[in-house]
Structures are given as C-alpha cells and as structure tokens.
Structure 1
Amino acid sequence: MRTEHEMMKMIVDFAAKDDRIRLATLEGSRTNKNIPPDGFQDYDLSYFVTDMDSFKENDHWLDQFGKRIMMQKPEDMELFPSELGNWFSYLILFEDGNKLDLTLIPINEVNDYFADSDGLVEVLLDKDSRIEAEVIASDRQYWIKKPTAREFDDCCNEFWYVSTYVVKGLARKEILFAIDHLNEIARPNLLRMLAWQIGMEHGYSFSVGKNYKFIDLYLPQEDWEALLSTYSGSSYPSMWQSLFTCYALFRKYSKAVANGLGYEYPDYDQAISTYTESIHKQWA
C-alpha cells in the first residue's frame, strides 16, 4: 500500500500541474487530529476546476492515481439521484487498498463550499490566493451538544413510541418490520441518549465519532456488552430480548440525564414498558 506521503504528494502534484484545477482541499478524518490514523481512512479530496466537462468526458485522467479495482460515480447513476448539484464525484478503490473520494467542484462555487463545510477542511493548494482567512480543520461541529429540555423529551418520546412499532412487528411475526424500526429509529435514539450522558459526565468538548464508533471508550464494560447484544436479531426471541435490553439501557441513561440536567423524566416509560410486557406474554 502506498504511504500517506506518497498519496498526498501525487494528489497535490497532479493538481499543481493541471491548469484547470485552481484550488484543492482535503476533508474528513485525515484532517482530524482526534482520529487515530490508519490505512483504511479515505482520502476525501476536492478539486475546484474551471472546466468540469473536460474532466467528465472520459475517465482516463484518473489512471495516473493508480490501478482501480472499482469505481462509483454517484452523480452518473440513475437509481440513486444526485445530491451534489453541479458537483461531480468519483469514489475509487485502488488495487493497493487506498481509497480516494474525489469531488470536482466548479471554481465559482468556492464560497458555497466553505459556507456548507463541516469544519474538517485543509487547503492543499490555492493557485489564485482565493482563500484569505486561515483555514484550520476542526471537528467542533460533531461535538456532543448539551440537550435542551425539549430535545431530551423529544428523544424519549421518539424512542418509546417507535418501540411500539417494534412490538407490533414482533407480535405479527413481521420480523423485518420490527428489525427495521429497532435499527433505524429506536436504537439511534438510545445512542443519542448515551452520548448525552457521556457529554454530561465528561464535558461537551469532543465527539464520539461518526456512527458513535468511539462510544465504547466511555461506557462501562457491562453496558457496552449489553448494547452490542441488542444487534442480535436473527430470531423472534432474540429480537424481544434486544428490545428489552434497549429499554433497560435507555431507562438507565435517560434517568441519569434527567437527574443531571434537572429535566422531567417522562411517565410514558412505565406505560410503554407495561404495554410491551403484556404483548410479549400474549404473543411471544
């Protein structure tokens, strides 16, 4: 696998030699000093160009970045509509294992790019000195935020109400319906509550990572193992157990947040728990 130094030199050198490219930036985890580096990190790159069409005519110019084993062009797909407007991206996996996510952006959209940036940006090349202020990469946007009383109640409301859909799916023997509501709505709100409690305990000055991937660093081992167990959903008994474990974890952490921040703990916890137990006894 080519080293980070080799990859970055190739990326910057290519941009420096091509007059159509006026500005180059690096985004994502490789700009974040709080993320331990490894070989699986993508190179999230943007080239700001004067002539988009000349790049999009064919893909031969990408050959100099290395041998590709697969490439995706999201803005050139029919099944998944483009979300980038005038921008055009290439998601590339190279034979040596490096991965490049390269986006072409019209040079006249520089201001829009920085206005919408999440803060994790590093300027690699600026041929025309367009960027006047110093750009310092920061993950502040992803730091845990202290919830308001309304946000806290909204999270509780969403978790407990959506849990009834999981119950309905299990009672009807519609396991995919139940799994989807647990995985896509209920558990994400459990994770949100866990993060709020972590922020309350450790301060609101850091991130637990994309998809909460570093949350295990802050949870007691038994709670981490309990959380992992809720991802077991290959049978109806295991789904019921996953749901009840989510209930217990959510109750523990939401009560801690409520007590720590002086918020009112919702009484529908007991109501939904009783409802769930009654359905479980009848249909499990």
Structure 2
Amino acid sequence: MRTEQEMMSIILSIAKNDERIRAVLMNGSRVNPNVKKDRYQDFDIVYYVQELNSFLADHSWVNAFGERIIMQMPDTMSLFPSDWPGFSYLMQFADGNRIDLTLLPLEELEKQSTFDSLSVILLDKDKLLPPLPKPNEFDYITKKPTTEEFLDCQNEFWWVATYVAKGLKRFELPYAKSMMEGPVRKMLVLILDWYIGSNHSFMINTGKDGKWLENYLDKKLWEKFVSTYSNGDYQDIWRGLHTMCSLFEEISETVAKKMGYPIFSDYPKVMEYINLLEKQ
C-alpha cells in the first residue's frame, strides 16, 4: 500500500505538471486534527481548473493516480442525476488507497465566499485562494435545534414508525426494514446527537450518520442503541422497533427537559397503535 507521502506526491505532481490545474485543496478526515489517522481514510481532494471540457473528453488522464479496482463518476450516472458545476472521480485503488477527486472550474472559486472548515491549501499557483484558518470541526459540530426542529424530529420518528409496523403486519420485509433503517433510524441518531450535544455545550462532532456515537454515550445507552438493530426475522424486527421507540422516548424526554422544549404529545397514541397492530 502506498504511503500517505507517496499519495500526496502523486496528487501534487499531477497538479503541478498540468497547466489547467491552478489550485489544490484537501479536506475531510485527513485534515481533521481530532480524527485518529489510519490507512483507510480517503484523500478528499479538490482541483480548481481553468476549464472542465478537456478533462471530461478523455477520462483516461486519471490513470496516472494508479491501478484502480473500481471508479465511480457520479455526475455521469443516470441513476443519480446531477446538475452542479463540478465533476467528481471517486477512485478505489488496488493497493487500498482511495481518492475522492473533485474538479471545480475557476469561476466557481470566484463565487465561493466560504470554505469547508476542514480544508487545507496544498497548492495555489496564482494566489487565488484566501488564507484559511487551521482546519477545525466547526462545520460538523452538532447544532442546537430550534423548538420547531426538535418537534419535527419527533413527529417524523413517530409518523414513520407506523409505516414500519404496517410493513411488518403485512409481511413486507424490504419495506419495513427500509423505513426502519432509513427515516426512523435517522431521527433516532439525530435525537442522540442532540442529547450528546446538550451534554457538551454543543461543541461535539459525532461524525457522519453518528459513527462516533459510542465515544459519547454511556455503556447502558450504547448497548440499548446497539440492540435496536434487528435481523431479518419478523419477531426480531418487532423487538427492534419497540426498543427504538423506547430509546427515542427516553432521550427526547431528557433533551426536552434539559432545553425546556415541548415533547410531541401524540406519541403515546402512536405506541398504542403500534401495539394494537402487532397483536391483531
């Protein structure tokens, strides 16, 4: 596996030797001072370029980064249509490294007034980029919710929980799991984010999709959260759903009390409905 130094050398040498590339930024976990480095971190790179067309006319130019096992170009995919002004190459290499490379036209840089707080300037041939502060997690810290956001989170959780119950009652496994592991879990993670944030003056980053929740929850809460994950057995999914509801109720009441926010008043009726469906 190529070292970080070797990868950085390739990334910068390609940029230095191509007159179309005028500036290079790196962002993401590799510049986050609070993330422990490991070999699996992506290289999140932005090339600011004079124009895009010549790059996109022949994608083979990215072969210079190394042997790939797979590449995705999201902006060419009909399944995920995109209309933004840039272009991305997501490259997984045979040696285990990965580069997520974004090309942005220089005119976009002129419009850009702010930069991701986890950004470092690697190259600036024309001194186009403003001085950036040291990389920090400011853009990723859990923000204190408004009263409306707090109520919306509760409403969404309990509303979609009924979809899970109906899907289980109809033996629609893919649908039930999709609703449970999609919107319902998203709201559960969000309420846990706010719980953790409220305990740390909203100065904590729990990571994408709550990947660092374990670092901030006590053992009992973490184990309860883990137990919300169910297998493909209908009875086990019912169990997981009830555990999710119990945990969400517990945490939302704690956060509401701490921040002086209202609790979604209809959740007892939702639980009654879910229990009725399960027993019918």
Same fold, TM exceeding 0.5?
yes
- Distance in 2 (CA, whole Å) between partners of 1:111 and 1:7 is 28
- Distance in 2 (CA, whole Å) between partners of 1:134 and 1:167 is 49
| Equivalent residue number for residue 39 of structure 2 | 39
3-state SS of 2:143 partner: coil
1:215-243, CA deviations, whole angstroms, 9 ceiling, x for partnerless residues?
A: 01111223222222222140110110011
1:231-267, CA deviations, whole angstroms, 9 ceiling, x for partnerless residues?
A: 2140110110011000110111011111111222233
3-state SS of 2:46 partner: strand
Measured after TM superposition, the shift of residue 94 of structure 1 is 1.2
CA contact (8 A) 2:92 2:98 kept: yes
| Equivalent residue number for residue 4 of structure 1 | 4
| Equivalent residue number for residue 212 of structure 1 | 210
Find out whether 1:103 has 2:106 as its counterpart: no
1:130-177, CA deviations, whole angstroms, 9 ceiling, x for partnerless residues?
A: 123334322212111122222211111111121111111111221222
| Equivalent residue number for residue 263 of structure 2 | 265
For 1:168-247, list aligned pairs within 5 A.
Answer: 168-247=166-245
1:160-200, CA deviations, whole angstroms, 9 ceiling, x for partnerless residues?
A: 12111111111122122211111111111111111111111
Aligned length: 280
- Root-mean-square deviation (CA), in Å? 1.6
* TM-score computed with the length of structure 1 as normaliser: 0.93
Of stretches 50-59 and 175-184 in structure 1, the one that deviates more from structure 2 is 50-59
- Distance in 2 (CA, whole Å) between partners of 1:132 and 1:218 is 35
Find out whether 1:148 has 2:131 as its counterpart: no
3-state SS of 1:254 partner: helix
3-state SS of 2:89 partner: strand
- Distance in 2 (CA, whole Å) between partners of 1:78 and 1:275 is 40
- Distance in 2 (CA, whole Å) between partners of 1:17 and 1:45 is 16
CA contact (8 A) 1:47 1:103 kept: yes
* TM-score computed with the length of structure 2 as normaliser: 0.94
Find out whether 1:165 has 2:163 as its counterpart: yes
- Distance in 1 (CA, whole Å) between partners of 2:152 and 2:79 is 34
Aligned sequence identity (%): 41
CA contact (8 A) 1:140 1:206 kept: no
- Distance in 1 (CA, whole Å) between partners of 2:3 and 2:221 is 38
Runs of 5+ in structure 2 lacking a partner? none
AA paired with 2:206?
V
CA contact (8 A) 1:23 1:47 kept: yes
AA paired with 1:122?
V
Runs of 5+ in structure 1 lacking a partner? none
| Equivalent residue number for residue 247 of structure 2 | 249
3-state SS of 1:2 partner: coil
Are residues 149 and 80 of structure 1, via their aligned partners in 2, closer, same or farther at CA, if it must alter by over 3 Å? Answer: closer
3-state SS of 1:260 partner: helix
Find out whether 1:133 has 2:131 as its counterpart: yes
- Distance in 2 (CA, whole Å) between partners of 1:36 and 1:147 is 28
